[in-house]
Amino acid sequence: MKTFYTADHHLHHSGMELSFGRIVETFEKPERAEIVLRRVREVGLGPVLEPAAYDRAAIERIHTPDYLDFLQNVFAEWRAAGREGEVWPYSWRHRSMPMIDAPPSGLDARLSYYSFDMAGSITETTWQAAKRAADTALAGADAVLAGERAAFSLCRPPGHHAGRDFFGGYCYLNNAAIAAQRFLDNGHARVAIFDVDYHHGNGTQEIFYDRDDVLLASLHGDPDFEFPFHLGYARERGAGKGEGHNLNYPLPAGTAWPEWLTAFEDAHARIRTYAPTALVISLGVDTFKEDPISQFKLESEHFSTIGRRIADFGLPTLFVMEGGYAVEALGVNAVNVLQGFEEV
């Protein structure tokens, strides 16, 4: 299968993060994409192609123009305010504070409004990298629309925590949502997003929550103990005409393959019942037993099985890279899914 990749992902690197009381090198580092790319080449998965530059309009199908303007301009605003370093939010609306539905004017207040955590910063070139990651997703979707059975969008930074107008969890633009919308805008009536990343894709859920043209199924660490907390419970099933089109499978810490597979098979059956005409996989491989920030116990061979079972849908399929942080094994695990898919 074709892989879409651009070295422009290097334009985003937050450098550090605060992890359990320590400032450490961020887990979401450029090396991640390099390792996956190296494995794609090593196994001869197929051609590696540079994505075209798309108009912002394709991204505005998912994200609000005011949020995109903010992402593009906030670094310059930060500098103009005489600040050094990178743009970091640091305080958010607590449940004791009223919800608001328009952005405040002050710089830090607006930064807070457009984010939900400080997993990653906004650097001088974060917008460019995030835009190119969205281009990478769009190019993969277009390859599938042009008749490819499947494609791999090796996106970085990842996307599934980003909502219509907010960033967080290392994510700025929701690459998988942008790709799913691309399918809908080009002849597909129903698209399923299957999110197998270890973390709940709260951004993807927010984007499609009241819609019935996208079914979202997500397997993840129970938000009662795991990031992003507060969203990803099984009771969240969609709203309005989207009722029943959001399927969450929160799983306990320590979940190993048999239990993970049971949830996966339930989601698999529900997706088949929905009868989508295209499939987007939010491909996180941070379910791996050695992942440094996760608590599931999958092993490298299991990722091949996941790929084979995804192929059993028999649908045009786009794989969009999300998380995965055990950098040694990251390439093998991600590409095992793709090779498993191609075996079927």
**Binding window for ligand OKP (CB under 6 A); candidates: 98-106, 155-163, 173-181, 261-269:** 155-163
Contact pick of 67, 152, 170, 194 for ligand OKP (by CB under 6 A): 170
How is residue 130 written in tokens? 């995030």
Q: Which residue among the candidates 161, 199, 200, 245 is catalytic per the annotation?
A: 161
In eight-state DSSP terms, residue 298 is B
Q: What does the alpha-carbon distance between residue 48 and residue 168 come to, in Å, rounded to a whole number?
A: 29
Q: What does the alpha-carbon distance between residue 267 and residue 310 come to, in Å, rounded to a whole number?
A: 11
How is residue 38 written in tokens? 């190296």
Binding flag, residue 114, ligand OKP (CB under 6 A): no
Place of tokens 């405040």: 104
Indicate the angle between helix axes 300-311 and 257-274, nearest 10 degrees: 10
Binding at 169: pick from Zn ion, ligand OKP, none (beta carbon under 5-8 Å per type): ligand OKP
Q: Is 161 a catalytic residue?
A: yes
Site pattern 72..111 for ligand OKP (x: CB under 6 A): ----------------------------------------
Q: Provide the pairing of β-strand 246-251 with 317-321.
A: unpaired
Name all contacts of 333-336 with Cβ < 8 Å and 24+ positions apart: 333/285, 333/288, 333/300, 333/303, 334/36, 334/39, 334/283, 334/285, 334/303, 335/36, 335/39, 335/40, 335/43, 335/45, 336/300, 336/301, 336/303, 336/304, 336/307
Place of tokens 């084979």: 308
What is the nearest approach in angstroms of ligand OKP to the Cβ of residue 6? 20
Binding flag, residue 322, ligand OKP (CB under 6 A): yes
- In this complex, which beta carbon is closest to Zn ion, that of residue 2 or of residue 32? 32
**Binding window for ligand OKP (CB under 6 A); candidates: 134-142, 158-166, 248-256, 270-278:** 158-166
Binding flag, residue 293, ligand OKP (CB under 6 A): yes
To which H or E segment does residue 150 belong? strand 150-153
Site pattern 193..222 for ligand OKP (x: CB under 6 A): ----x-x-----------------------
- In this complex, which beta carbon is closest to Zn ion, that of residue 307 or of residue 323? 323
Binding at 158: pick from Zn ion, ligand OKP, none (beta carbon under 5-8 Å per type): ligand OKP
- Binding residues for ligand OKP, rule: CB under 6 A, are 19-20, 119, 158, 160-161, 169-170, 197, 199, 227, 284, 286, 293, 322-323
Catalytic residue ranges: 161
